[in-house]
Amino acid sequence: MNETVLIHLSGPNQPGLTAVLTAILANYHACVLDIGQAVVHETLVLGLLIEIPPDNLLHLQNALVEKSSELNLQVSFKPVSKSDLEHWIYSQGKDRFIITILGRAISANHLARVSAIIEEHGLNVDRIERLSGRRSLAVHSSKSNACVELHASGNATSEASMRADFLATAHDLRIDIAFQRESIFRRNRRLFAFDMDSTLIQGEVIDELAKMAGVADKVVAITESAMRGEIEFQESFRRRVSLLRGLPEQKVHELLGTIPLVEGAEQLISTLKLLGYKTAILSGGFTFFARNLQQRLGIDYVFANELDIVDGKVSGQVKTEIVDGARKAELLRQIARKENISLEQVVAVGDGANDLPMLGIAGMGIAFRAKPIVRQTAGHAVSFLGLDSLLYLIGVRDRDFDEFLSTSLERRDSFQT
């Protein structure tokens, strides 16, 4: 029977090193059962689980020791018993999860707290990868992104309990922690659907209109109550719109372009477009503002409420179907059917109680800078970074985008030349 051996090599990284080492394995007819390699700060760590004919093992070890000495590498060999090999094979069928830590900076304390939760719930960390750019993870900036992704496996004692622990820890440490099962859909999302007010833009359009109409306090009170889920959305919407009665249409359109986008919105949307994603705004706000965003950002679908204008003034009446939570979910289903995609391939992003139905049916529902009830209910919550950080949750790394942008610029320059 063949021998099973775990080989571990570490030391300074060099071009062609993997080719040299695996060529030695090939010379002695080794079969690679598992392999993992990482380079951290120009230091290589390489692990190989191999099967090899017994007569070749000693010769392989001698050859690797000799070559490792030449390359200034450390090498070790560990025999793997039949029972350990069977355990490893069995473990390949365990559940796999991805835990993403997001923050302006990531400290050892953040990693320690998160990894402790993973261990407490019966999982083992298999791999750790940095998705953010090559800036220091410990350098804090009000606009910087830091992201570390942990891959874990095992039989979780309680996913709901683990998610709750991550949420509490994220709040305590003022970072974001996303927890998701590894699946084929994670890197195969096809549609992002956004709420508009306080999600894509920094504020509520109806609140700004209320300031113009001199009824800001009344409208804000109703808005906040609805966002907390205390008032049914349709009723709250009718109440707020009625307070806008008599506002001149000219004033309404003066609002366009005055409410800034949320941090990272343009970066997220432009990257999604480059990657071929469809995008949608499903808003309980107004179409006049949503369509302006559609033109500005290149959004594919827009559904919102019509602000009724009569004789050049806001009528205060609601004459079309209100886009509430249930309507958002139905519209999301319609778009998915039209695009011929599964709801598992949909990412929905929102901040209020009326977003929960669409967050609930999407493959990934994200509460973005949301009210407490929404953070606690949604599958994922991002509260401390901008919208562009959502790219990490679908597996996009900073260097992926940098490489794509560099290639695009090179092609453009070549074409112009």
Alpha carbon distance, N-terminus to C-terminus of the chain = 63
Q: How many helices (H) and strands (E) does the chain have?
A: 16, 16
Q: Could you tell me if 244 and 237 are in contact, meaning their C-beta atoms sit under 8 angstroms apart?
A: no
Closest CA to 347 of 269, 279, 397: 279
Q: How many C-alpha atoms does 372 have within 13 Å on its Cβ side?
A: 3
The per-residue b/e assignment along 275-290, b for 16 or more CB within 10 angstroms, e otherwise, is eebbbbbbbbbbbbbb
SS percent in the chain: helix, strand, coil, step 5? 45, 25, 30
SS3 3: strand
Q: What are the residues whose beta carbons fall under 8 Å from the beta carbon of 254, sequence distance 6 or more? A: none
Torsion of CA 23, 25, 29, 33, to 10 degrees: -120
Per-residue CA distances from 134 to 4, 112, 127, 175, 396 (Å): 38, 21, 19, 19, 15
CB atoms closer than 10 angstroms to residue 269: 23
The pair of structure tokens assigned to 149 is 């992704």
Q: How far apart are CA 122 and CA 161, in angstroms?
A: 12
The residues annotated as belonging to the active site are 195, 197
Q: How far apart are CA 81 and CA 68, in angstroms?
A: 25
Per-residue CA distances from 68 to 26, 37, 160 (Å): 16, 16, 47
Q: Are strands 176-181 and 146-154 parallel, antiparallel or unpaired?
A: unpaired
Kindly report the three-state secondary structure assignment for every residue of 381-396: EECCCCHHHHHHHCCC
Distance from chain centroid for Cα 152: 17
